[in-house]
Amino acid sequence: MVKVLIRSLFMIAALMSAPAFAQEKFIVVASTTSTEDSGLFKYLLPLFKAKTGIDVRVVAQGTGQALATARKGDADVVFVHDKVAETKFMEEGFGVDRREVMYNDFIIVGAKTDTAKINGSKDVIESLKKIATSQSPFASRGDKSGTHAAELRYWKQAEIDPQTGKGTWYRETGSGMGPTLNTASAMGAYAFTDRGTWLNFKNRGDLGIVVEGDTKLNNQYGIMLVNPAKHAHVKKEMGLAFIDWVTSAEGQLAIAAYKIEGQQLFFPNRSRLVNAK
Amino acid sequence: MAEISQGFTTAATLIGTANTELLSIVWLSLKVSGIAVMIASLLALPFGAWLALVRFPGRQSLIAILNGMMGLPPVVVGLLVYLALSRAGPLGSLGLLFTPAAMVAAQTLLIFPIITALTRQVIEDAWIEYREQLISLNASRGQSMMALLWDMRFTLLTAVLAGFGRAIAEVGAVMIVGGNIDGITRVMTTAISLETSKGDLALALALGIVLIGIVVIVNAIAQIVKTTAMKHHG
């Protein structure tokens, strides 16, 4: 009885709002806060829509949450940046046709006071060690996102368990990149971030880039179709059309052309191949 | 502090230039919360009135629970609706997740207890006052409910407005079930949240000022309607 009531309530809501919100063809893409906060989608998606007429609805979440959304079948395509988690997602059979799209790099930002004395360093591992030994405040995502996973991998390589600094210098915000940078800016803390979000971030306050240029800091983005064999409602053709387009010469050039204040945010993978030749 | 004055300037510019993106976000906010208030009121007003007049064992507990549910955390409501509407959930086949309909559903659930609880209190107080009269007229329970709801309509408007205020101001539920999709499910509160994420605090504050302005205007309109109607009906 209650279930019927709830169901009819949803139906009423759907009926009442459906005509007003009627939409043409669309796919849902679960992606990361870094692609949304950096402004890339706002620039890229109208180009794809002009070409194909397909509306791309982006739900921006941390990589962990985006993959969970896709596992439940609530997205057609996932576009994230955590190769380890993506590989696991593929191996479990939730995704098909993974392709590498673009990359940029991670950086460490920090306040001018630079209490760990790492400004200008190119060595991420050494810098993290100095942050830990000087007990300098460090704001971490703590949200199982792609950036958080990457940060934890570097701590591991530095043979430091940041959890020991919890309550003192290591502070998990449990939120997206933007909110974490807001926190770091307010506390004068160091933070580990992707370059794209940083370039589009306006509330920098006293923060600036302190560590960059370590070849270890590569940040790779991958795209996958949610396996239609697991979730029959996945819009396979339109999803693949989007995957094909972002990895096509046209999509890749468009990604390379996205700049903020003259700085390129993402580097398409295909151009790397072209450059290598 | 610079952000605050800049926020007001940006808000003025946004309104002055009738920014189309802002207009569509405002419109969606009003539409989603408006529909949610309509559905919730249609269910909550009769239910609240019924609860005011009937007596059954466990009624006091039910009232206590309803009153408590006025403080339902939006994020929990969002999570429940998300789990229900997810493809892996019981209502997944409807394909409503990440649509405005899902946001309407979440806000309806969120404000139903508020409107019910306030209605119950208003009608119960009125019942004490009109009880003898209604009984002497031999009015059935249904007739009494209708008479009291009609008689208290101006006071009940406040209950409905309280529901509307809660719906349009919440961010936790619509963020989870709507997904803050640009042009589809982005409403005022999720847009404010996004701009805060981008560190554009002035723009976020400007959107906040616009939101507060809209809520004040809606309440002012309701107030005018109420006063005019009261004059006519004594």
Element (H, E) at B186: none
Q: Are B198 and A200 spatial neighbours (Cβ–Cβ below 8 Å)?
A: yes
Is the CB of residue B172 less than 8 Å away from at least one CB of chain A?
A: no
- The SS3 call for residue A121 is strand
For an interface test with A, the pick among B80, B175, B181 (most A C-beta atoms closer than 10 Å) comes out as B181
Give per-residue pLDDT as tens, B30-50: 999 999 999 999 999 999 999
Instruction: Burial-class residue B16 by CB neighbours within 10 Å (0-12, 13-18, 19+).
Output: exposed
Q: Is the pLDDT of residue A20 over 90?
A: no
At residue A138, the pLDDT reads 97
**Can you give the pLDDT at residue A15?**
57
* Residue B128, both tokens: 């004490």
Which value, in Å, is the radius of gyration of the alpha carbons in chain B? Answer: 20
SS3 content of chain A, % helix, strand, coil (to 5): 45, 25, 30
Domain ranges of chain B: 2-233
Using CA atoms, how far residue B172 sits from B101, B164, B186, in Å, is: 16, 16, 13
Q: Which residues pair with A1 in a beta bridge?
A: none
- Residue A127: what pLDDT? 97
Q: What is the ipTM of this complex?
A: 0.81
- State phi, psi for A120 to the nearest 5 degrees: 90, -5
Give the pLDDT confidence score for residue B17 in this predicted structure. 84
User: What's residue B15's pLDDT?
Assistant: 82
What tokens were used for B192?
A: 């404010």
Half-sphere exposure for B8 (CA within 13 Å, toward CB): 4
Q: How confident is the model at residue A38 (pLDDT cuts 50, 70, 90)?
A: confident
Tokens encoding A90? 């593929």
Q: What is the pLDDT of residue A193?
A: 96
Element (H, E) at A218: strand A218-226
**Tokens at residue A158, please?**
């530095």
How much is the pLDDT for A270?
85
Indicate the DSSP class of residue A223.
Answer: E
- What is the pTM for the complete model shown? 0.86
Residue A1, pLDDT above cutoff 80: no
Q: Do B201 and A203 touch (CB under 8 A)?
A: yes
What's the mean pLDDT when you consider all of chain A? 90
Specify the pLDDT at position A277.
Answer: 37
Give the nearest partner residue to B91 out of A10, A20, A176, using CB atoms: A10
The confidence score (pLDDT) of residue A11 equals: 62
Chain A residues within 8 A of B92 when measuring between CB atoms: 73
- The shortest CB-CB distance from B94 to any of A10, A20, A178 is to A10
Q: A95, A227 in Cβ contact below 8 A? A: yes
| Sequence-distant (≥ 6) Cβ neighbours of residue A169 within 8 angstroms | A131, A132, A135, A136, A137, A138
pLDDT of residue B2: 79
Distance CA B52, CA A90 (A): 56
Q: Which of residues 69-98 of B touch A (CB under 8 A)?
A: 84-92, 94-98
What residues of chain B score a pLDDT lower than 70?
1, 234
- Give per-residue pLDDT as tens, A55-109: 999 999 989 999 999 999 999 999 999 999 999 999 999 999 999 999 999 999 9
List Cα–Cα distances, B34 to A6, A16, B157, in angstroms. Answer: 19, 11, 14
The fold of B2-233 is: MetI-like fold (1.10.3720)
Query: Lowest-confidence range among A23-27, A56-60, A124-128, A186-190?
Result: A23-27
Res. A19: pLDDT tops 50: no
Q: Which residues contact A47 (CB under 8 A, 6 or more apart)?
A: A254
Q: Are strands A218-226 and A77-80 parallel, antiparallel or unpaired?
A: antiparallel
Determine whether the interchain pair A21/B100 forms a contact, defined as Cβ–Cβ distance below 8 Å: yes
Contact: B180, A28; criterion CB under 8 Å: no
Identify the structural domains of chain A with CATH numbers, from first to last. 24-104+220-276 (3.40.190.10), 105-217 (3.40.190.10)
DSSP string, B117-132: HHHHHHHHHHHHHHHH
pLDDT on residue A33 = 86
Count CB-CB contacts under 10 A for residue A276. 6
Task: pLDDT band for A12, please (50, 70, 90 cuts).
Answer: low
| A22: pLDDT strictly greater than 80 | no
Distance CA B192, CA B182 (A): 13
Residue A207, token pair as written in the block: 């923060």
